[in-house]
Structure 1
Amino acid sequence: MQKKYIVRLSVEEQATLQEVIRRQKGSAMKVRRAQILLKADADGPNWTDARIVEAFECRRQTVEMLRERLVTEGFEVALNGKKKPPRPTKLDGEQEAKVIAMRLGPPPAGYANWTLKLLADRVVALEIVDSISYETVRRTLKKTASRRSRSSTG
């Protein structure tokens, strides 16, 4: 089958990929991408996709997408992957402080402890935010708990 995206690496790109592989520099995915790109180089080994799939135990689609990414988006994106945009936060620092303070205070009458759902409902009732999921409350409390444990152990 004729390949739609042909990998042609410059000498500098080949050296970069070989360095990544030799030093195991970066994540395992980055090393795997470097190995695949080197073997797919039309001016180098020029392995078939089937041979690459067999050698590196990956899917054919992985090889095809990596070829396409190299040609359309460039060497850096192909090697390092796309940067994910940061997740927007529902609570700002002041709102987080209010949630934490509420959690540290006494639970409502009839309850022995705060639950995440109870905290989420109370945060909305007090109009700290318009809406919030108990999962966001959990992440907020977990973030502060992990910071506290790190600072107390160090």
Structure 2
Amino acid sequence: MGRGRTNKIRLSAEQRQHLEALSRNGHAPVKKILHARVLIMSDEGEYGQQRWNDQQIGAALGLHRNSVARIRSSFLEQGEQAALNRKPRQTPPVPQKLDGEKQAHLIAICCSPPPDGRTRWTMKLLVDELKARSIVTQIGRETVRCTLKKTNCARGKSSVTVFPNAMRHAL
């Protein structure tokens, strides 16, 4: 994969100009600049000035020759954007503790009257209530706080709706 070059890159004048501008401006992420330099050095078209092999490109840029070959093959198979940009994640690294249904339960608890002897729901009381109702097995106060902050829910206040701004705009 890394030694002999079976797939050759031939950049057009505008592709080469775009990659050179990207590698010189200094405002792009470092990996993107590095990948652009690999593509420029791999160019064997009429605008490519020096013939570099994977070993030389890797040594010049501090990469392994297999990384150079992978970037080049990504460019040939999927195009310039795939070779320069990272692939976006399909799923988040940590799944959400509270999905839509569980958030609805949390909001319903928050809008209900607080327990006896309390004037409002605290984060600890909400966490304990979620666990007591078996909505979740384990959850932290910060997760509950962030969820309530997203919904503009005020703990313990009697309001017509959880989303007061939505009602004001609807009128």
Bin for the TM-score computed over the shorter chain: 0.5 to 0.7
Of residues 8, 11, 15, the one that matches 1:9 is: 11
Structure 1 length-normalised TM: 0.65
8 Å contact from structure 1 (residues 19, 25) kept in 2: no
Is 2:66 aligned against 1:61? Answer: yes
Of residues 105, 113, 116, the one that matches 2:124 is: 105
Between Structure 1 and Structure 2, whose CA radius of gyration is higher? Answer: 2
Is 2:85 aligned against 1:80? Answer: yes
1:67-116 CA-partner distances (Å, limit 9, x unpaired): 110111111111123232243645335634729x6870338xxxxxx7xx
Is 2:99 aligned against 1:92? Answer: yes
Any unmatched runs of 5+ in structure 2? 111-120, 151-171
Structure 2 length-normalised TM: 0.59
- Structure 1 or 2: larger helix share? 1
Match of 2:38 in 1: 36
Aligned length, in residue pairs: 130
* CA RMSD of superposed structures (Å): 3.5
3-state secondary structure, aligned to 2:66: helix
The amino acid that maps onto 1:106 is L
